[in-house]
Amino acid sequence: MKPQEAPSSRNTRDAEPEATGLERKMESRHLTMISLGGVIGTGLFLSSGYTIHQAGPLGAIIAYAIGSLLVYFVMLCLGELSVAMPYAGSFHLYANRFIGPGTAFTIAILYWLNWAVALASEFTAAGLLMQRWFPGSPAWVWSAVFIAVVFALNILSVRLYGESEFWFASIKVFAIVAFIIIGLLAIFGAMPIAGYDSAPLFRNFSADGWFPNGIAPIFSTLLTVVFAFSGTEVVGVAAGETRDPAKAIPKAVHTTVLRLAIFFIGSIAVMAALIPWHRSGVDTSPFVLVFQSIGMPFAGDVMNFVVLTAVLSAANSGLYVCSRMVWSLAKERMLPKGLAKTNFRGVPVFAVLVSMAGSLLALLSSVIAASTVYLALVAVSGLATIVVWASVAVCQIRFRRQWVAQGHSVDELGYRAPGYPFVPWAAIVMCVLALVLVVLDESQRSTLYYMIPFVALCYAFHYGREAWRRRRERRLQGRRGDEA
- The burial of 73, by beta-carbon neighbours within 10 Å (0-12 exposed, 13-18 middle, 19 or more buried), is given as buried
Give pLDDT, residue 89.
59
Q: What is the pLDDT of residue 426?
A: 95
Structural domain includes residue 2: no
Q: What SS3 state is found at 214?
A: coil
- Which range of residues forms the domain containing residue 433? 14-466
d(CA 140, CA 14): 46
Helix (H) or strand (E) holding 96: helix 90-98
Can you tell me the distance from the alpha carbon of 468 to that of 443, in angstroms, rounded to the nearest whole number? 40
Distance CA 201, CA 290 (A): 14
The whole-number pLDDT of residue 338 equals: 84
Q: Is residue 478 part of a domain?
A: no
* CA–CA dist 87, 247 (Å, integer): 15
Has residue 476 been placed in a domain? no
Indicate the residue type of 429: V
Task: Give, for 13, the enclosing helix (H) or strand (E).
Answer: helix 9-20
φ, ψ of residue 193 to 5 degrees: the values are: -140, 135
pLDDT reported for residue 2: 39
Residue 407 exposure: Cα atoms within 13 Å on the Cβ side: 0
Q: CATH number of the domain at 49, please.
A: 1.20.1740.10
Q: What is the pLDDT of residues 375-405, one digit of tens each?
A: 777 777 778 888 889 999 999 999 999 999 9
481 within some domain: no
Q: Which residues of the chain have a pLDDT value below 50?
A: 1-6, 8-18
Q: Is residue 242 part of a domain?
A: yes
Q: CA gyration radius for the chain?
A: 23
Q: Is residue 245 part of a domain?
A: yes
Q: Domain count of the chain?
A: 1
Angle at 269 between CA 440 and CA 264, to 5 degrees: 65
Question: Which helix or strand (DSSP H or E) is residue 225 part of?
Answer: helix 216-228
Long-range contact list for 91-97, CB < 8 A, 24+ apart? 91/233, 91/236, 91/237, 91/388, 91/391, 91/392, 92/325, 92/328, 92/329, 92/332, 93/328, 93/332, 94/391, 94/392, 94/395, 94/399, 95/391, 95/395, 96/332, 97/4, 97/395, 97/399
Structural domain contains residue 7: no
- The b-or-e profile of 138-160 (16+ CB within 10 A means b, else e) is ebeebbeebbeebbebbbebbbb
Bridge partners of 26, per DSSP, are 242
Residues 313-352: pLDDT tens digits?
Answer: 888 888 888 888 888 888 877 788 888 888 777 788 888 8
Does residue 200 form part of some domain?
yes
Question: SS3 for 282?
Answer: coil
List C-alpha distances in Å: 71 to 60, 66, 373.
16, 9, 31
Instruction: Round to whole Å and give the CA distance between 54 and 417.
Output: 35
